[in-house]
Homo-oligomer: A and B are copies of this chain.
Amino acid sequence: MPTQTAAERRAEAKVAYDAYIDKCPSRKLLDTLSDKWVSLVLVALSDGPRRYSDMARRIAGVSQKMLTQTLRSMERDGLVTRTVTPAVPVRVDYELTALGRTLLPLMAAVKTWAEEHIEEVEAARSRYDSLT
């Protein structure tokens, strides 16, 4: 499978969807991607498949409920695959799909931006809060 499908090239040439429009499906998708945990899950899978418990450990502070919920949503959206290995105890691995890998660099960039600019942001907050 080619990196970019014909459909993707077409979409890029002329964007038929506009996230600025309330009812546009892409708006809802953008809302989903803007979820608190999606970027962290995506980046956690950047190096290949990961077990559920690995991810829970990696993403400190995420509850079981939210991790499962986020992974289910991303699986449904075609961003990750879920592979169950029948054993005792059972083993479940998650992996990025081709689609998920196209999104990864974008979300990773945002995560990195946050890490690199947090000091500037904190300085701005101090300035803002010290006014009146």
Task: Assess the A118–B1 pair: CB atoms within 8 A.
Answer: no
- 21 CB contacts below 8 A, A to B, read A1-B106, A15-B115, A17-B118, A18-B115, A19-B40, A20-B44, A20-B60, A22-B61, A25-B118, A26-B115, A29-B118, A30-B39, A30-B40, A33-B113, A76-B128, A99-B117, A99-B124, A106-B110, A107-B110, A109-B109, A110-B110
Q: How large is the interface on A (under 10, 10 to 19, 20 to 34, 35 or more residues)?
A: 35 or more
Do B109 and A76 touch (CB < 8 A)? no
In the assembled complex, which residues on chain B have CB atoms less than 8 Å from the CB atom of A26?
114-115, 118
A115 touching B19, Cβ below 8 Å: yes
User: What are the residues of chain B within 8 A of A122 when measuring CB–CB?
Assistant: 25
Asked if A119 contacts B11 (CB within 8 A), the reply is yes
Within 8 A of B (CB), among A75-116: 75-78, 99, 102-103, 105-107, 109-116
Q: Which of A26-73 contact B (CB under 8 A)?
A: 26-27, 29-31, 33-36, 38-40, 44, 58-61
Summarize A's interface: helix, strand, loop or mixed: helix
Residues of A within 8 A of B (CB): 1-2, 7-8, 11-12, 15-22, 25-27, 29-31, 33-36, 38-40, 44, 58-61, 75-78, 99, 102-103, 105-107, 109-125, 127-129
